[in-house]
């Protein structure tokens, strides 16, 4: 059997105003047949026992964006349910499981590193404090981010890595996520980001039509606050050996069955707070499977659009893989 790689994307319920914005045909199928899968039933039971809600009733409900964090645990639970549903229906071998930032939680749950109940009761308080640190830092420091894309073959990423050191901006401007050599996702102190953008435009004229707007942002994945007090929230949490090989947000491998608590914890907290290297992650995932399936939404998968082309199988939404036989698919 040819293995597949599975990738848990960004949690997007707040941005999209929906818990799982996919076609009615898939939602009907999941609601009708999902409860017959033991692992899906376990997800539904946990949501009822912890929050007193029917997870599948939320699928067509409108998310209340005025309630901070209200929808995030439920979308994470839906990601887990869909992954288990796929595994039961398709009977495919899973070669590796990867994740992007907030996708680390559902990926760890799906891989049995910790239970969904533990995610709700012990990991969510950690994630809330992470979010608070992001936002509080942005209240103290003006922060912006920008995506700048040059022409094919231009080494903009390498250039930025050099100039932030040479110009003394290494503690003010950061590569938030690495995706391809001619594209940079910059974030940091606003005036520093603006200065680096100007240098990129001067060095690479083909990039001048991108990154025209600096977007205000929070301190997500930026080393601008003290992580230690937040990381300590997870003290005492036991990380169980994953039932799949895990690929971290920087492309490193956590072996299937690893019981190394430091590795499992460190890569989880880094996924939530540290810099990302999505390009390296997908290189590793490509080596682990013949195809890549994204557990998430089309909007959540947008981070994959600027990766190097031709170096790995084109990722596809997991719902597409399940609906191909029914002739209804969505592209990443």
> No. of H helices and E strands in the chain?
13, 11
- Interval 65-111: pLDDT, tens: 666 667 889 999 999 999 999 999 988 899 999 999 999 999 999 99
| Distance (Å, whole) CA 133 – CA 230 | 9
Please tell me whether the overall predicted TM-score, pTM, comes out greater than 0.85 for this model.
yes
3-state helix, strand, coil in the chain (%, to 5): 50, 15, 35
Determine the pLDDT at residue 66: 67
CA distance 159 to 198: 13
Q: What order of strands is seen across the sheet that includes strand 143-149?
A: 215-216, 143-149, 183-189, 173-180, 276-277
> Which domains are assigned to the chain?
4-137+225-326 (3.40.366.10), 142-216 (3.30.70.250)
Which residues have a Cβ under 8 Å from the Cβ of 106 and sit 6 or more positions away? 8, 76, 77, 79, 80, 83, 99, 119, 295
Token pair for 190: 């606003």
Question: CA dihedral in degrees (144, 150, 155, 161; nearest 10)?
Answer: -10
| Residue among 327, 258, 331 at smallest CA distance from 301 | 331
Rounded Cα gap, residues 188 and 191, in angstroms: 9
- What lies within 8 Å, CB to CB, of 45 at 6+ separation is none
Taking the chain (332 residues) in runs of 10, the rounded mean pLDDT of each run is 88 84 86 96 96 89 70 93 94 92 96 98 96 97 95 91 94 91 93 97 93 96 97 97 97 97 98 93 87 88 64 77 65 48
Residue 189: name the closest of 113, 257, 251, 138 by CA.
Answer: 138
Write down the H helix ranges in 91-219.
104-110, 116-118, 124-140, 156-166, 190-203
């Amino acid at each position: 059997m040819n293995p597949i790689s599975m990738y848990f994307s960004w949690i997007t319920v707040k941005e999209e105003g929906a818990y799982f914005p996919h076609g009615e045909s898939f939602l009907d199928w999941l609601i009708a047949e999902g409860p017959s899968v033991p692992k899906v039933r376990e997800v539904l039971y946990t949501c009822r026992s912890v929050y007193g809600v029917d997870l599948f009733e939320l699928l067509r409900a409108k998310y209340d964006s005025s309630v901070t964090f209200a929808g995030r645990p439920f979308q994470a639970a839906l990601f887990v349910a869909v992954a288990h549903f796929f595994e039961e229906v398709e009977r495919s071998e899973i070669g590796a499981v990867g994740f992007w930032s907030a996708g680390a939680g559902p990926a760890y749950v799906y891989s049995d590193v910790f239970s969904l109940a533990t995610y709700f009761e012990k990991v969510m308080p950690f994630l809330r404090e992470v979010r608070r640190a992001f936002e509080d830092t942005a209240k103290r420091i003006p922060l912006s981010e920008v995506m700048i894309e040059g022409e094919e073959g231009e080494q903009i990423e390498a250039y930025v890595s050099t100039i932030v050191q040479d110009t003394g901006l290494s503690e003010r401007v950061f590569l938030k996520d690495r995706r391809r050599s001619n594209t940079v996702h910059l974030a940091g102190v606003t005036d520093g980001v603006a200065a680096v953008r100007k240098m990129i435009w001067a060095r690479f004229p083909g990039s001048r039509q991108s990154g025209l707007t600096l977007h205000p942002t929070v301190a997500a994945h930026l080393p601008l606050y003290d992580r230690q007090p937040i990381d300590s929230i997870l003290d005492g949490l036991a990380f169980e050996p994953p039932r799949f090989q895990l690929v971290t947000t920087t492309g490193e491998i956590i072996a299937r069955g690893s019981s190394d608590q430091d590795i499992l914890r460190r890569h989880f907290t880094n996924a939530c707070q540290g810099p990302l290297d999505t390009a390296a992650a997908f290189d590793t995932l490509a080596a682990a499977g013949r195809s890549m399936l994204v557990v998430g939404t089309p909007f959540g998968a947008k981070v994959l659009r600027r990766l190097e082309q031709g170096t790995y199988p084109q990722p596809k939404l997991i719902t597409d893989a399940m609906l191909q036989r029914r002739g209804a698919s969505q592209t990443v």
